[in-house]
Every structure is written in structure tokens, then in C-alpha cells.
Chains A and B, each alone.
Chain A
Amino acid sequence: MTVRSTNHAASPARRGFPARQILTALGVGALILVPLLAPHLQLLMNLALAKGLAVLGVTVVLRAGQVSFGHALFFGISAYAGAFLISAWPGADLLVVLIAGVLGAAISGLLVGLFVARYRGIFFGMLNLAFSMIFWSILEKFYHYTGGADGIRLTRPTVLGMELGRVNYELVLFYLAIALMVGLGWFTLRWLASPSGQLFQTLKTNETRLEYLGLSPRRVLLSGYVLSAVLCGVGGSMMGMTQGVVTPEYVWWVRSAEMVFIAVLGGAGSVRGAFVGALVYEIVRIYASAFAADIWQLLLGVFLLVIILFAPGGIMGIVDSLIGHARSARKILK
């Protein structure tokens, strides 16, 4: 299984190299032009990119064949860490806030990971959910420190020592989100292709072989888990700074469910799919919320069932099969 999965991971990259690469470059290029061509979409895209970063974290865990119903925990911890820092130190630098948030996510990811790395499947998913519910109730109950259900406002951080106006600040955040998407997306792809990433994915295909190789599956899972927590943390901090307020809703199970949904929608386990899924999801949500706000979760649930039962590859699976069809058609023509 391991050998086959390696080939499977490498071959589309080789065969589909130009098509995928070109599509990705076009997509990123289109995003870069959004503030110029469609400024009213900028905030929406920014939120979608922040969500996409968090979804990337869930995607990483999916690659090990595990699903977490509580990854909003790291999303929230990072956003709250940034909020606490800013209220203690108004005018802190954006990068400092981001790093503080990500550090918080990494440390909590390590602590929670040490515990949940012993489990797989049902226990893994539900224990993650339990941890996020614990943190959620702490946020709600200890309102003297956390602001309770109202959350904490984030004043605008400085950027490299400069105090920016709203428009420029939002531009900086937007391009930072794109840079993080490209950088972390590339890193995650490289990591998944690296030996430690391959070992991580072996947890899905055949965990016993890992032990035969003399490796500890727990440690392997933990490494990927911390990476996923960091990715969720980056998303959470970016979301907090974009929205200017953090609330317990950041760690509520609905948020975790949304992340899992987007990961499956984009294409379970696909790095590009995490962002494509997040963008499609946000755009549909904005336009659908006008008439379907009451049944939004119902629609998500139905779509989730449809994808799982009928299109398990998600959006990226459909795109890949389209590319594949185009290529085979060309071959036939030749």
C-alpha cells in the first residue's frame, strides 16, 4: 500500500504537471487582482483565505485517515492569544500578533496532541470535539477574562511600525493572506512529499508497517498534528485580525464542522482543494444566506452526504478528472 500510495502521489504531479500548475498560477493571479478589479469582494476573499488556511490544517489530518471535529480549538486559541496580546500591548506589530497566536496554537497542539495521538478513528474525532467544547465553555464561563459571549475586540495592530488607515491595513492583510496561502500551501505539499510526510500518510494505509520500520506511530501522528494545529492557528489569527473581534463562536463545534465540510468539499486530502473549497464555500454562503440562513446547516449536511456518497473526490476530484479527460482525449486525437 505504501509503495502504491507514493506512486499515486507522484504520478499525477508528473503527468498533470502543466495543467495543474497553470490552473493554480491563474487562480493565485486572479486573487491578486481582486482588490483592483472587484474591491467589494476583497473582505469576503480575505475571510475565505483565512478559513482556507485553517481547512488546510484539517486536510493534513485527513491525510492520515483521521477526522477531527474539534480543530476550531486551535483556530480559537490562536485568535484569542492575539487578542490578549493586543489588549495588553495596544499597537503591537501585526507580525508579533500573528506569531504569538501561532505559538499559542503550536503549544496547545502539542499538549492536546500528546493525548489524542494515542487514538484513531472515532476516539480521535470525538476527543478533539471534547477538547474544543472544554475551551469553549471556559471562554463562556470565565467572562471576567475572556469577555464571555461578547468576546474581545482587537484594535488595529501596527504594520512594521507604521499605523495604517483602514484601506491600507486591509490591503496588507489581504496580500499577507495570499502570501501565507502560497507559502504554507507549498510547504504543506513539500512536507507531505517528504519522508516524514510520507510516514505520516502511512498511518492511513498501514500503521503496523510503521512499527515494523521501528518508528513510533504516536510520534509520527503528533508531528502532523502539531503542523495541523499551527495551520489552524495561522487561519485563526488572520481571521481575528480581519474581523477585528474574537468570540467563543471561533471554537464552537459548528466552526469545526464547517472546516471538515470545506475540506471534504474541496477534495478530502487535497492541499489546493482546501483553498478552492473555502473560496467556493464563502461565495455560495454570502449569496445563499439571503434566502437560506435558517436551513444553512441542513444544506451543508445534505451536500456533505451527497459528496461522500457520490463524489468522494470533491471539487478537486472533478477538476482532476476533467484535466484527465482532456489529456486522454488529446492522446486519442494524436
Chain B
Amino acid sequence: MTFTLFLLALFDGISYAALVFIVALGLTLIFGVMRILNVAHGSLYAIGAYATASLTGYALALGFAPIFAFPLMLISAVLVGVLLGGPIEWLLLRRIYHKPEVLQLLVTFAVFMILEDVQRLVWGTQPYFQASALQALGNVTVFGVTYTVYQLILLPVLALVLLLGLRAFLRHTIIGKLILATTEDREAAQAIGIDADKVFLFTFIVGAVLAGLGGALDSPTTSILPGMGADMIVLSFAVIATAGLGQIEGAAVAALMIGLGRSFAVYLWPETAVLVPYLIMVLVLLVRPEGLFGSPVARKI
């Protein structure tokens, strides 16, 4: 492996990790607060990607500059969060918080099945390409390796901003403190007047926006296909399971491990690239069943 290839693998890994982290962040936030694993998270990611590609294509056709792709990403993500995430929590999840974990999983899985077909109905099975945002920012050359600014600088910086922003939001704002209080003890929080229903709805929408944003940011770098949601939910679960469910900072480390592992596998032994994330997860879980940063839960008897 030459130095150039090493750098390429490194850059691939970092940009990929940034994307996966943004999606996993939403998943782990929802789990941390609501104790629900949202299997439909992968679909929200895919729909975010499709929506961005469609909106950008539409804007370009109207004669807007390619730079408009960036606000459209944010708009798509918010639309996904509010129009899909909101109703899912409000109409479905609210009915099942007191039910067994298995039923909660089945319900979000059912939503996932529904949304997979909705995507195919709306956008068909042909792949979509929309790389204008990627091209708009141009390239950068580092140690003789030319790479896109979008993937090498924008994505990692954005991931870092989201990580630090979410941390600060949870710790230093009133709404964030309300969320943390509800996470800690829902009944006690309600007893002091916190509207837990609102907190859950808000958290779920924020998580869904993050899923949509992950998809929106991914859309210029890949062809958008049916089935990408299924891949992403398993991958982002691998990230948050490796980190420990509900661990926000840990998810960043796990995403880097998995992203780098995968991109080096692409250059060294391409057939195994899909397997590496799961191998990393299985190895970590064999040694630490609660994940890298998770702590064993005290059992209720």
C-alpha cells in the first residue's frame, strides 16, 4: 500500500464516518431519550436523500445556481423530520411506550416496511444522481492527493459541529435540560410539570431531521437506490451498538472506527468491505457486551 493509497483510504474513511455518524446520532439520541430503536430511521435517511435529489434537480431546472443545493438539503431534512417523524411519534409510538420492547421493535419495523414501498412508489426503482453540490465546492489537493472539498472538509466539519452543538444544546439550554430530565426519570419529570409527551415528540423530530440530513448530505456522493435505507439502518445500528446505545460521543468514535475499517478494506480486500463494519461490531461486543462506552444496566428484580 503506497502513501497515496493510504491517504485515499484515510480520506474515504473520514468522509464516510462523518455521514454515518450524522445518521447514527439521530438514532442514538432517540434511543437514549425514548428507549425505542427506530428501525424506520433508515427509511428517513433514504427519503432525505431522494427529496434532496428531486428538489435540487427541480431548482437547477428553474435556473438556480448549484450552490442552492445546500439550503435545499436543510429544507429536505426538516421536511422529513416534521412531515414524517412528527406523525410517526404522534400517531404510533405514543400508543406503545408502555408495551414490551418486542412490540415496539415490530411497530417501527412495520413503519420501515411501509416507507420502503412509499419510496419506490414516489421515486421508482431507477437510481438518482445529483452531484451538483459536490461539484460546486471543487477539489483540494493534500500531499499530492486530490479530493473533493465537500467530502474531505465540509462533511467532517459538519459532523463535528453537530456533535458539539447537540452536546451544548442538551447541557446548556432549557429545552435540552428538560430532555435530559425526562430521560433520567420520566415520572419525576412529569411530577415537576414537564410535558413529557412534548419532549418525546420534539426529540423524535430532531432525530428524524438528523436522519434526513444524513441522507441529504449523502445524496451528492452516491447513487440513490431502493434498499439504501435497509443498509443504513443496520450500519448505523452497528455504530451505536459498538459505541453503547445512547452514547453520543461514543458514536463518533465508533463511526470513525467503522468508517476507517471499511475504507481500508475497500483498498486491501474489496470483497470484505461490507463485512468489516459488522466484524468490528461483533469483536467489540464479544469483549464488551454493552459497547465501548456503555455501562451495564442495573437489573430490576
Choice from A118, A130, A208 contacting B237 with Cβ under 8 Å: A130
Is the beta-carbon distance between B274 and A298 smaller than 8 angstroms?
no
Stretch from A33-41, A42-50, A62-70, A278-286 forming part of the interface with B: A62-70
A67 touches B105 (CB 8 A): yes
Q: With A and B bound together, what is the CA distance between A115 and B281 in angstroms?
A: 12
Contacts of A131 in B (CB 8 A): 278
CA distance A296 to B102 in the complex (A): 23
Hey, which chain B residues are within 8 Å of A296, CB to CB? 117
Taking a contact as CB atoms under 8 Å apart, the answer to whether A301 and B112 are in contact is: yes
Q: A295-B121, A298-B117, A304-B110 are in contact. Are A115 and B241 (CB under 8 A)?
A: no
**Which A-chain residue is minimally distant from B112 (CB atoms)?**
A301
Q: Which residues 122-170 in B have Cβ within 8 Å of A in the complex?
A: none
**Bound-state Cα–Cα, A137 to B105, Å:** 24
Distance in angstroms from B276 CB to nearest chain A CB is 10
A141 contacts B by Cβ under 8 Å: yes
**Chain A contacts of B120 at CB under 8 A?**
294
Q: Across the two chains, which residue of chain B brings its CB closest to A295? A: B117
- In this complex, what residue of B is CB-closest to A142? B271
**B65 beta carbon closer than 8 Å to chain A:** no
Q: Is A102 an interface residue (CB 8 A)?
A: no
At the interface, is chain A mostly helix, strand, loop or mixed? Answer: helix
From A141, A253, A308, residue with most partner B Cβ within 10 Å: A308
Listed residue (B120, B234, B282) with the most chain A CB atoms within 10 angstroms of its CB: B234
A126 contacts the other chain (CB 8 A): yes
Q: Does B59 contact A (CB under 8 A)?
A: no
Across the interface, A305 reaches (CB within 8 A) one of B92, B100, B245, namely: B92
For A94, what are the chain B residues with a Cβ–Cβ distance below 8 Å? none
Bound form: Cα–Cα A298–B121 in Å = 10
For residue A138, CB closer than 8 A to chain B, the reply is: yes
A residues in contact with B197, CB < 8 Å: none
The complex places the Cα of A302 from the Cα of B115 at a distance, in Å, of 11
**Smallest distance from the beta carbon of A238 to chain B beta carbons, Å?**
25
CB distance from B139 to the nearest CB of A (A): 31
Measured CA separation A122–B104 after assembly (Å):
9
Q: Is the CB of A130 within 8 A of B281?
A: yes
Tell me whether B117 and A130 are in contact (CB under 8 A). Answer: no
Closest CB in chain B relative to A72 CB, distance in Å: 13
Q: B113 in the interface, Cβ–Cβ < 8 Å?
A: yes
Most chain B Cβ neighbours within 10 Å, of A66, A118, A130: A130
Interface range on chain A (Cβ under 8 Å from partner): 35 or more
Chain A contacts for B299, CB-based, 8 A: 208
| A125 lies within 8 A of B117 (CB) | no
State whether the Cβ of A81 lies closer than 8 Å to any Cβ in chain B. Answer: no
- Judge whether A274 is part of the interface by a CB distance below 8 angstroms: no
A333 on the B face (CB < 8 A): no
Q: Report the bound CA distance from A300 to B275 in whole Å.
A: 29
A264 at interface, CB cutoff 8 A = yes
Residues of chain B with a CB closer than 8 A to A298's CB: 113-114, 117-118, 121
Q: Which chain B residues border A300 with CB–CB below 8 Å?
A: 110, 113
Contacts of B266-294 to chain A: CB distance below 8 A: 271-272, 274-275, 278, 281-282, 285-286, 289
Distance from A273 Cβ to chain B, minimum over Cβ atoms (Å): 16
The reply to whether the CB of B103 lies closer than 8 angstroms to some CB of chain A is yes
Docked pose: A83 CA to B278 CA in angstroms: 27
One digit per residue, 1 when the CB lies within 8 angstroms of any chain B CB and 0 when it does not, for chain A 125-166 equals 111011101100110011000000000000000000000000
Complexed CA–CA distance, A118 and B241 (Å): 14
Choice from B107, B118, B241, B275 contacting A126 with Cβ under 8 Å: B241
- CB–CB A308/B121 < 8 A: no
Q: Inside 8 A of A126's CB, which chain B residues have their CB?
A: 37, 234, 237, 241
Contact for A123 among B100, B116, B241, CB less than 8 A? B241
State whether the Cβ of A119 lies closer than 8 Å to any Cβ in chain B: yes
Complex Cα–Cα for A295 and B113 (A): 10
- Give, as a whole number of angstroms, the nearest-CB distance from A297 to chain B: 5
- A–B pairs, 19, beta carbons within 8 Å: A62-B102, A65-B100, A66-B102, A67-B105, A125-B105, A126-B37, A126-B234, A126-B237, A129-B237, A130-B278, A208-B299, A257-B109, A297-B114, A298-B118, A300-B113, A301-B113, A302-B110, A302-B114, A309-B95
Given contacts A125-B105, A305-B107, list 6 more A-B pairs with CB under 8 A: A65-B100, A115-B286, A125-B102, A253-B234, A294-B120, A297-B117
